[in-house]
Structure 1
Amino acid sequence: MPSTIEMHVVEGQWSSGLCDCFNDPINCVTTCFFPSITMGENAEIISKGETSCIAATTIYFLLCSIGCQGGYGFYYRSKLRKLLGLPKQTCKDNLVHGCCCFCAICQEHRELKVHGADPTIGWKANVENWRSRAVTIPPFFEPQMTR
């Protein structure tokens, strides 16, 4: 299904603003009623399949039930920043997930889509799609070299 998102990627910046949730209305409504599912989908892609959607959804749901979901969302937002080469903003990311968690999850979902991943189909299906289109490297920036 073609994406309704039409944004331009500028290196080092988010492709859309925090409050641009209606740029992807289906995801906006889904996240409004089922934020744990969107968070789970995002987490599976951000972790490159190491964390399953079901596991991340369950963890986020349980943390939401006790009001502690902000730290979990912040963790994945930080990983997404590193993965996509976005500048580090620890304090801002913590506040965003503490105060506007639904908007943050939607923004992260849109960002993954703009960078060529479809969080709704999972990591393995995305890898298969990239292979079928002859994409040799996933459309994410590779992390900096480490020792």
Structure 2
Amino acid sequence: MSNNVTVTSQPSPQLKNNLAMAREMNPATIDNAMCERKWGTQICGCFENKRHCLLGTFLWPCMKCHMANRIGEFPGVGCLVPGGLLAMRVKIRTLLGIKGSICQDCAVVTFCEPCAVCQMSRELDKMGL
């Protein structure tokens, strides 16, 4: 004999348990678990690469378009999309396993945009992208 069970409702998600677990976790723990390294160069490390230094000084908007293309995004996202450079920085940091936060990324692209563009480009160069 088989035991047939009639299902009359969908199983309820364990949302309460998941929320409780998320509240208990420390954001630093999450960051450290997912990201393994720091940026390869400092934000003001433009002088480590003369090419990046010159491009970052005189042609950094073009550099943003080229970098967007390198990471598989529409080339104009860094210049035409509000918050596009921030999104690109978060994408690069996440894909390459670099420690940091959205708040730090926001501050860097807001106050040091040309330097941020150079740092991101240097990081992509180091990774061969």
- Shorter-chain TM-score tier: 0.5 to 0.7
Displacement over 6 Å in runs of 4+? none
Aligned to 1:38: 63
Secondary structure of the residue that 2:89 maps to in structure 1? helix
Q: What are the ranges of 5 or more consecutive residues in structure 2 without an aligned counterpart?
A: 1-35
The size of the alignment, in residue pairs, is 94
Question: Can you give the 5+ residue segments of structure 1 that lack an aligned partner in the other structure?
Answer: 1-10, 118-147
Give the superposition deviation at 1:88.
Answer: 3.9
TM-score when normalising by structure 1: 0.58
The question of whether the paired residues in 1 share the 8 Å contact of 2:39 and 2:99 is answered with no
**Aligned AA for 1:73?**
L
- List aligned pairs for 1:19-98, cutoff 5 A: 19-47=44-72, 50-51=73-74, 53=75, 55-56=76-77, 60=79, 71-98=83-110
Q: Is the 8 A contact 1:31 1:37 kept in 2?
A: no
Could you tell me the percent identity over the aligned residues?
Answer: 32
TM-score when scaled to structure 2?
0.66
RMSD (CA atoms)? 1.8
* Counterpart for residue 104 of structure 1: 116
- Whether 1:115 and 2:127 are equivalent positions in the alignment is yes
Query: Highest Rg: 1 or 2?
Result: 2
What's the counterpart of residue 132 of structure 1?
none
Q: For 1:83 and 1:32, how far apart are their aligned partners in 2?
A: 26
For residues 11-63 of structure 1, the C-alpha deviation after alignment (integer angstroms, 9 at most, x for no partner) is 4211110010011111211121111111111111122xx42x3x34xx61x57
